[in-house]
A and B are shown apart, each in its own frame.
Chain A
């Protein structure tokens, strides 16, 4: 199975900060990397698919990049509603696997 390693596992940031979350695959996955946001007690929600495509309705302050094994989710200016957990997910090969998650908290 492909292992997905997210870092950091948690971070504290202030409103307006630029936040970067990284996800590394244990082997090549092309651009088959997706990002989800999850708020407490809620289901995950798709934010970015195929590494860099913003899902409809997701604010443009979110962006994704990367290919191969290294990927990044960036929030250009953190807003109060962005405090949540974020998970990466590889869909290159079965079984699909998830990163361990990054919890973005308030500083």
Chain B
């Protein structure tokens, strides 16, 4: 079945970087893009950006421009999201999700199980 499995929880100090992985299986990896969405504790969903698994093109949300880098490794069917210069308000669960449907007009299915990133001194 189609599945996205993310890396484990992380604890980071302010100013550090974190890199979260998202291993895809059960489908042709290069045929679908991957979006990253985060959810702060008790809050709603915030889209961070998208990467094409076909050619590596990216589209980042303005809030994260300059601080986030999304990449893919087609040989291992894994997507990565690196966030730099972490602040306490970056504490959140980070999700990867496959984008289905028309490019840039699709829906997210499935989602990874989420990775909790805690930023604390």
Interface segment among A12-20, A74-82, A95-103: the answer is A95-103
Contacts of A34 on B, CB cut-off 8 Å?
107-108
Contacts of B46 on A, CB cut-off 8 Å?
98
Q: Could you tell me the distance in whole angstroms from the C-beta of A28 to the nearest C-beta in chain B?
A: 14
Contacts of A100 on B, CB cut-off 8 Å?
44
Task: Give which listed residue, B44, B59, B106, B111, contacts A98 with CB less than 8 A.
Answer: B44
A to B contact number (C-beta, < 8 Å): 56
List the A residue with the shortest CB-CB distance to B112.
A43
Contacts of A43 on B, CB cut-off 8 Å?
95, 110-114
Q: Which of B44-72 contact A (CB under 8 A)?
A: 44-47, 59, 61-62
**A65 beta carbon closer than 8 Å to chain B:** no
**A26 beta carbon closer than 8 Å to chain B:** no
Q: How many residues of A contact B (CB 8 A)?
A: 23
A52–B44 Cα gap in the complex (Å)? 23
Task: Give which listed residue, A50, A87, A94, contacts B101 with CB less than 8 A.
Answer: A50
Q: Could you tell me the distance in whole angstroms from the C-beta of A46 to the nearest C-beta in chain B?
A: 4
Do A91 and B45 have beta carbons less than 8 Å apart?
no
List the B residue with the shortest CB-CB distance to A55.
B109
List the A residue with the shortest CB-CB distance to B46.
A98
Contacts of B47 on A, CB cut-off 8 Å?
95-98
A65–B66 Cα gap in the complex (Å)? 38
A43–B114 Cα gap in the complex (Å)? 6
**A62 beta carbon closer than 8 Å to chain B:** no
Provided the pairs A32-B105, A43-B95 are in contact, do residues A96 and B113 lie with their beta carbons within 8 angstroms?
Answer: no
Contacts of B78 on A, CB cut-off 8 Å?
none
B105, B107, B112 — most chain A CB neighbours (10 Å): B107
Q: List 13 A-B contacts (CB under 8 A).
A: A34-B107, A43-B113, A43-B114, A44-B111, A46-B107, A49-B100, A49-B101, A50-B101, A87-B44, A94-B59, A94-B104, A96-B35, A101-B44
